[in-house]
Structure 1
Amino acid sequence: MRSMTGFGRGESASEKVRVVVELQSVNRRFFDLNLQIPQEMSALEQELRGWIHCELARGSVTLRVAVDYLDLAACPLHPNLPLVKGMQRAWEEMATACGIPFEPQAFWQMVGQHPEVLTCDRLPFGEKEVLHAAVEQAVKALVKMREREGQHLCRDLSERLAKLGEQLSRVESLLPAALGEWRGRLEKKVKELEGVLPEMMERVSQEIVTYLDRGDITEEITRCRSHFDQFGRCLEKTEENVGKQLDFLLQEIFREVNTIGSKAQDATLSSFVVAMKSEIEKMREQIQNIE
């Protein structure tokens, strides 16, 4: 099991270039990749997407690539003359306005602090193997972090599932007494009506039986336990991409618990149902971050 949150970094170099790759991912229902790459790598965009998507199935992923050219011949430099001349004019105007002489040495020291005065004719990136190696490192680091986070989420969900099972057992143990008390209240009302509407008693008795049957939640409890078992087996799976399965099962669990709550005619039962819904909501938040 993997989380969808993580970070990975990779670095690779040749005699000509050094490439640094950073990958960051957060939860998202589907896979989405945002590329922040140098312009000279634009021709490799589809390959980059393929390298990453084959390892990551879901999540919003951001890829950042930085290139350091060790061989300057691979990146011819040209002066940005309009910018330098504009800076010189401004420097001379400031010197004249302040009544001090223009100092070329100080000016060129200032120019050297601005890398934008040099432009680079970037050639198409030709070090694909170096880039691939850096991406591979970053993906492995990201996956490792996502797996560690996934283990924490798995433990948390297992504990919450056990708690749900305990709460459901309490509901099941309280059910006979709750139904008995409910039946007793209804029978008392029936006896009060016997002397008033004797001709209606048979029909009233039938309605009471039907009403009590509708309040029986044993089927919902059975289905809940089945969903709990399936949910637990999903947590034990070693394969990836179980997030959608867990989300579906949790929706089914919530549906059954909600039905139990609507049928419950007992304050104690209702309190356990509220606690179960609260636990399910916490589990839902965790599942949103599972791949």
Structure 2
Amino acid sequence: MRSMTGYGRINKNIGDYGYNLEIKSLNSKSLNLNVIISPIFSPLEINIQNFIKKHFQRGRINIYIDIKLLKSDDVIDIDLGLAKAYYNALNVLANELHLSGEVNLEILLKFKDILKVSLTDEKIAQIWCGLEKVLEEATNIVINFQEEEGKNLEKVIVEYLKEMKRIVDEISQHADKMKDTYRELINNNLNSLLTDFTNIDEKRMEMEITLLSERSDITEEIDRLNSHIKRFKNLLESSEPSIGQDLDFICQEMHREFNTIASKSKLLEITNLSLEGRSLVNKIREQVQNVH
């Protein structure tokens, strides 16, 4: 099991390029990628996103990438035609407005579109070859971080599950008693209402009592809770790369079962246990929010 919290950083030179890469992962209900990279290397963004999606299914993943050229390379295109056009236009402007000073290189360089960085497909492929290796290393660091955090989360959740199983078992022990209590309550209420009547169909009354008692039966809810706990444990022990959403769904279902038990309960013991169970589910869910 992995948490969604992780961090990894790599600074490495490969071939003619230097790579400085940092990955931070935080909690999120779904996968949310944020890639920060120079616009020069924007053609690599799709490759980066596809790579990350193979390793992360949940979390807010922030990726910072800085790529440097380690040696001089012919990647700058100069738009001489545009530079001359700017130069001529500025001279005309200076003459018309009777401005002093000359149009020099410093002024021309303020027009960013004169100098353009141009990377060929071949260079992009070379840069990606090195970047992919660095991404792999940084991703492994993050995943190892998440797995260590996941171990701590699992210990806490397992203890909560043990406590929940105890609660469910105690509710089960009180379940048969609740049927008898419900029957006794109905009998007492009916007797107080029917004291002035002599002709009472006892069989019909018994049938009504049985029907009402069946409505208070919580056997199915107990069975489902036990099933949810078992499923939860199986997911914790599985090798699935992402189980957080499934665990969260099971928490919702367990909370619903405890609510149903509380609404049916006529015993204070069961009501209190169901409330304790709901509180425990909330604690588990707080931990599950950080499970990848």
The answer, yes or no, to whether TM exceeds 0.5 is yes
Q: Where do 1:169-184 residues align within 5 Å?
A: 169-184=169-184
Cα 1:280–1:122, aligned 2, differ >3 Å: closer, same or farther? same
SS in 2 for 1:33: strand
Deviations 1:206-227 (CA, angstroms, capped at 9, x unpaired):
3222111111112211221122
In the alignment, structure 1 residue 208 sits paired with structure 2 residue 209: yes
The answer to whether the Cα contact below 8 Å between 1:16 and 1:70 also exists between their aligned partners in 2 is yes
AA of the residue aligned to 2:246: Q
For 1:187 and 1:148, how far apart are their aligned partners in 2? 58
SS in 2 for 1:29: coil
The answer to whether the Cα contact below 8 Å between 1:3 and 1:290 also exists between their aligned partners in 2 is yes
Cα 1:258–1:18, aligned 2, differ >3 Å: closer, same or farther? same
Deviations 1:57-107 (CA, angstroms, capped at 9, x unpaired):
22221110123443255677x9xxxxxxxxxxxxxxxxxxxxxxxxxxxxx
Compute the displacement of 1:272 (Å).
0.9
AA of the residue aligned to 2:60: S
Compute the displacement of 1:176 (Å).
3.1
For 2:211 and 2:197, how far apart are their aligned partners in 1? 20
Q: After the TM superposition, which of the residue ranges 148-157 and 160-169 deviates more from structure 2?
A: 148-157
Identity %: 28
In the alignment, structure 1 residue 276 sits paired with structure 2 residue 277: yes
SS in 1 for 2:55: coil
AA of the residue aligned to 2:7: F
The answer to whether the Cα contact below 8 Å between 2:36 and 2:63 also exists between their aligned partners in 1 is yes
Q: After the TM superposition, which of the residue ranges 214-223 and 180-189 deviates more from structure 2?
A: 180-189
For 1:209 and 1:16, how far apart are their aligned partners in 2? 83
The answer to whether the Cα contact below 8 Å between 1:15 and 1:71 also exists between their aligned partners in 2 is no
SS in 2 for 1:240: coil
Give 5+ residue unaligned stretches, structure 2: 79-108
Deviations 1:31-75 (CA, angstroms, capped at 9, x unpaired):
221110012211111111122211112222111012344325567
CA RMSD in angstroms, aligned pairs only:
2.8
For 1:147 and 1:170, how far apart are their aligned partners in 2? 34
Compute the displacement of 1:130 (Å).
2.5
Report the TM-score when normalising by structure 2. 0.77
Q: After the TM superposition, which of the residue ranges 53-62 and 157-166 deviates more from structure 2?
A: 53-62
Question: How many residues matched?
Answer: 256
Counterpart of 1:192? 192
Counterpart of 2:81? none
AA of the residue aligned to 1:231: F
Q: Where do 1:113-262 residues align within 5 Å?
A: 122-124=117-119, 126-200=126-200, 202=202, 203-262=204-263
The answer to whether the Cα contact below 8 Å between 2:2 and 2:149 also exists between their aligned partners in 1 is yes
AA of the residue aligned to 2:212: Y
For 1:198 and 1:167, how far apart are their aligned partners in 2? 45
Compute the displacement of 1:182 (Å).
3.4
The answer to whether the Cα contact below 8 Å between 1:33 and 1:62 also exists between their aligned partners in 2 is yes
Give 5+ residue unaligned stretches, structure 1: 79-115
Q: After the TM superposition, which of the residue ranges 183-192 and 212-221 deviates more from structure 2?
A: 183-192
The answer to whether the Cα contact below 8 Å between 1:12 and 1:133 also exists between their aligned partners in 2 is no
Compute the displacement of 1:133 (Å).
2.1
Deviations 1:151-183 (CA, angstroms, capped at 9, x unpaired):
222222211111111011111222333433333
Counterpart of 2:40? 40
SS in 2 for 1:140: helix
AA of the residue aligned to 1:18: G
For 1:254 and 1:26, how far apart are their aligned partners in 2? 26
Counterpart of 2:26? 26
Counterpart of 2:11? 11
